[in-house]
Structure 1
Amino acid sequence: MSSDHTIWVAEHFIGGHPALDFSNAVFDRRNPPAHNELFNSARDVGTWLLAAGLAKEDEAGAVAELRDHRFLDEVREIRESSYELFNAIAASEEPPSQSLGLLFSSAARLLQTRQVGWDGTLLHLSSAQWKNPAAVSAFFAQLSIEAFYTLPRARMHACPRCGWLFVDTSRGGKRRWCNMRICGNREKITRYRSHFAF
């Protein structure tokens, strides 16, 4: 596990929905580097929630201080199930029922045992619940479940270069890259170099 903390920037939040940004929380899906993980600690999870606008500073701080050794593994497992689900949709394939089942079971563990609030279709955790690893895991699972049922499937795509997911909200529906300044430009450079390679 890396001791470095992830610094979240605007380029990490290009998905068009927090569930897709959550699914994208690795460096690269297509060609993963040796250190591909962006959730290296509970602190990374807490700061991600703050940067995504899903938690207030004190709530994110409570998540950052979680010491349950299973918490990070659960968040990553939920993230990977979310990615499998949305990547299948982006590829016009049948969403894997096992991935959806894991999300439902993660959310159900909290819903069956505790009273929770709702902010529209999303879980609303109390201050105390942000200190509960199971509640935070359930929050992520419910976030992805909500996106599964509400996002426009025909507009969901995966970047052909890095594999990050996004909802194409462009007027003509022609968006190809997660970020034109990053993957779009890198693709242009690659093509330029290959054109002049001997």
Structure 2
Amino acid sequence: MFVDHTAWVPEHFIGGHPALDLANAVFDRRNPPPHNELFNSAADIGNWLFSAGLANETDAAAVAEIRDRHFLGGVRDIREASYALFAAIAADKGTPSEPLGLLFSHTASGLEGRQVDWHGTRFDLASLQWKDPAPVTAFLAHLSIEAFFTLPRAKLHACPRCGWLFVDTSRGGKRRWCNMRVCGNREKIARHRGRD
């Protein structure tokens, strides 16, 4: 069944940074189902921004109303570049230049000729800017650039079951799964069935 609206739940936000949650916005990275996409519309992107705590309800609604035909593809490109960048770092393969360059390019082109304010290390878009696909895509690309420079690389991991990315902030540094209740339990069930 094709899903045209994604219901974002807390299990979608396990990465430890919004850039990782953005990179994880598919059902499964390792064994993708036929309809693996979670960003099926501008409404999905607006709802994701709200659920991630990055936009208020009014600004998220403005994003949901964006009708630019390139917007959805641009956000998906940013998501895939983010995943390629952080998955390589998690696998200790170094920094791939192409996805990092794409993120810088989207950030620069989305800000060209526009005034933005800053809140710490992130853009603080004005209400009218949430209606414009260029600053919104720049905002999303910049999340990954910020994460690239600030996340502790040694703590960045990919779930061995689904491939979702996360920062291991567990006390002993032994977190293995994106979510123990989801992938951890599935792995336990698979192992149990393998013994039968």
TM-score by length of 2: 0.98
How many residues are treated as equivalent by the alignment? 196
Q: Give the Cα separation in 2 of the matches to 1:184 and 1:95.
A: 29
Aligned-partner residue type, residue 96 of structure 1: P
Counterpart residue number, 2:156: 156
Counterpart residue number, 1:117: 117
Mapping of residues 66-145 of structure 1, within 5 Å: 66-145=66-145
Cα deviation, residue 112, structure 1 = 2.8
Unaligned residue ranges in structure 1 (runs of 5+): none
Q: Give the Cα separation in 2 of the matches to 1:193 and 1:144.
A: 39
Q: Give the Cα separation in 1 of the matches to 2:110 and 2:190.
A: 47
Structure 1 residue ranges, 4+ long, deviating more than 4 angstroms after superposition? none
1:18-66 per-residue CA deviation (whole Å, 9 max, x = no partner) reads 1000000000000000000000000000000000000000000000000
Cα deviation, residue 3, structure 1 = 5.6
Counterpart residue number, 2:10: 10
Counterpart residue number, 2:167: 167
Q: Give the Cα separation in 2 of the matches to 1:11 and 1:4.
A: 19
1:45-98 per-residue CA deviation (whole Å, 9 max, x = no partner) reads 000000000000000000000000100000000000000000001001112100
Q: Give the Cα separation in 2 of the matches to 1:68 and 1:46.
A: 14
Cα deviation, residue 110, structure 1 = 2.7
Q: Give the Cα separation in 1 of the matches to 2:186 and 2:147.
A: 30
Please tell me the root mean square deviation across aligned C-alpha atoms, in Å: 1.1
Unaligned residue ranges in structure 2 (runs of 5+): none
1:92-132 per-residue CA deviation (whole Å, 9 max, x = no partner) reads 11121000000000000133311111111111100010000
Q: Give the Cα separation in 1 of the matches to 2:170 and 2:190.
A: 25
Identical pairs, percent: 70
Counterpart residue number, 1:24: 24
